[in-house]
Structure 1
Amino acid sequence: MSTTGEIPTHTSATSPSNQPTKRDRRPRYHVQQVRESLTKRVVKCLCGTLLTLLLVVGILGFILWLSLRPHRPRFHSTNFLFPALAQDNGFDNAQITFNVTIRNPNQNMGVYYYSMEGEVYYREQRIGATPLSLPSSFPYYQESKSTIWIPGQLSVPTTLVVNDLRWTELMEDRATGTVWFRLELTSRIRFKISMWESKPHRMHATCHVAVGQDGLILPVSKGKRYTLYFS
């Protein structure tokens, strides 16, 4: 019992007025949602921009690579003559002459040729070799989108080696109507664009040429494109 006569009352530790209501929490929740949504949009925008830049840089790099990538020179056989084949006793004065064209297909890139040699093979045995001359002294620079003409000649006894056995084999093939030779050109080349030059490459151009009984190149081989590889 209270001595003062007052009726005791029960008080709570926290007043209901101090507790957040649903109305108080709702605006805070919306603010938080807006912030998270805005952050996601900014991140998505940055990622999209970055991916777009990477795509543009990749496309530009690919286009630049295509424009600067060197294309190999194109060799074509225009003529190949072995007149001695038409004679049974043409061994002593055997001579081979050939002509080749070289096309530089590059748009803005030139090619330096530092040397060039031609070799003739019969039944995969070399029967002759000779240095080749270009339109001017070495190193010769071929402009872009240009074509040059290269002559070659091998003769007995200087550059063409045909012994009795080889001549007999030639006559046997002549009897069939077609004699096959392989002409190979080798050169050391370098590509150049503006002030940039590539490292030297050892180039090999090879072509199988068919000759008839008269020693003239057959139509199947005239204008034939050479196979090109580097070593």
Structure 2
Amino acid sequence: MSTSQQLPTHHEGGPKPIKRKHSASYYVHRVSESLSTRISKILCGIFLTLLFIIGIAAFISWLSLRPHRPRIYISSFSIPGLDQSNGFENAEIRFNVTARNANRAVGYYYDSVEAFAYYRDQAIGSTPLVDSFYQEPKNTTILYKVLKGATLDVNNDRWKEFRNDRALGTVVFRLDVTAMIRFKVSTWDSKHHRMHANCDVAVGRDGSILATSKNKRCPVYFT
């Protein structure tokens, strides 16, 4: 066979790749890194889960311990003798203040509780209700008082104004209740806060509180 009739031969153009052989310590290191990564992820997941649970528990505790404002109502209010022209000579205002503690775990210390009566934004009387008392959680306290004599400033002219309103069917007063309050949670007591409750009260021709005002919740704020 001639040289021109020989089959072409193929020659590879480059060197063959060299396979690197790793030592046993290399594979041990890789496995160790993989395990470390997995353990880190597991620990991170556990930490985040615990943090979430603690956050939920803290939020629930805050909701249960967060102090709510006292709930103040006027359960009764009357002016005897309002139908008498000379009733101012023995004028008096009788009222009951209901204080409700709606908290489950927070108590109130009431100090220096006072009541102020107003007619057309003019002060007509004031009196201390009680020096101090402690109110347990989920508890209701009723304070009864009478404004008369030195604690009630009603003259003949003011009485005529009462009777003029009475002729129209309604006489409107405002009773403000103030107190210094401390909140108690377990063994911890807060600092003093001054509470104000503004209660609008309407009485009818007979001098007794109207149904629209009885047991109506009074707005409460602190200063």
Task: Please list the CA deviations of residues 121-148 of structure 1 after superposition, one character each: whole Å capped at 9, or x if unmatched.
Answer: 1111111101113xxxx43112222222
1:140 paired residue among 108, 133, 141: 133
Question: Normalised by the size of structure 2, how large is the TM-score?
Answer: 0.81
In the alignment, is the contact (CA less than 8 A) between 2:202 and 2:210 conserved in 1? Answer: yes
> Deviation at 1:108?
2.7
Tell me the residue number matched to 2:188. Answer: 196
Within-5 A mapping of 1:139-218: 139-156=132-149, 158-218=150-210
Task: Name the structure 2 match of 1:53.
Answer: 50
Distance (Å, rounded) in 2 between the aligned partners of 1:152 and 1:139: 15
Aligned length: 208
Q: Is 1:119 matched up with 2:111? A: no
Equivalent position of 2:214 in the other structure: 222
More off after superposition, 182-191 vs 35-44: 35-44
**Mapped partners of 2:216, 2:49: distance in 1:** 47
1:40-76 deviations in Å (ceiling 9; x for gaps): 5344333322221221111111122122222222222
Q: Give 1:106's aligned residue.
A: 103
| In 2, Cα distance between equivalents of 1:108 and 1:33 | 56
Aligned to 1:85: 82
TM-score (norm 1): 0.79
Distance (whole Å) between structure 1 residues aligned to residue 83 and residue 76 of structure 2:
17
Separation (CA, whole Å) in 1 of partners of 2:50 and 2:205: 66
CA distance in 2, matches of 1:89, 1:209: 23
Cα distance in structure 2, aligned partners of 1:182 and 1:163: 18
- Confirm or deny: 8 A CA contact 2:65 2:104 kept in the other structure: no
Q: Where does structure 2 lack aligned partners over 5 or more consecutive residues?
A: 1-14
- Identical pairs, percent: 56
**Is contact 2:87-2:159 (8 Å) kept?**
no
For 1:56 and 1:31, the matched residues in 2 are separated by: 37
Compared CA separation, residues 80 and 22, structure 1 to 2 (3 A): same
Map 1:21-100; keep pairs closer than 5 Å: 21-22=18-19, 24=21, 38=35, 40-100=37-97
Bigger mean CA offset, 205-214 vs 30-39: 30-39
Per the TM alignment, residue 35 of structure 1 is displaced from its structure 2 partner at its CA by 6.9
Q: Distance in 2 between matches of 1:142 and 1:223?
A: 19
Q: Unaligned regions of 5+ residues in structure 1, if any?
A: 1-15
| Letter matched to residue 149 of structure 1 | I
Alignment of 1:7-18 (within 5 A): none
Aligned-pair distance for 1:89?
A: 2.1
Deviation per CA, 1:181-214: give whole Å up to 9, x if none: 1111111111212211111111111211110011
* 1:24-45 Cα deviation digits (max 9, x unpaired): 58xxx99998777655534433
Output the aligned Cα RMSD: 2.7
Q: Output the CA distance in 2 between the equivalents of 1:22 and 1:163.
A: 114
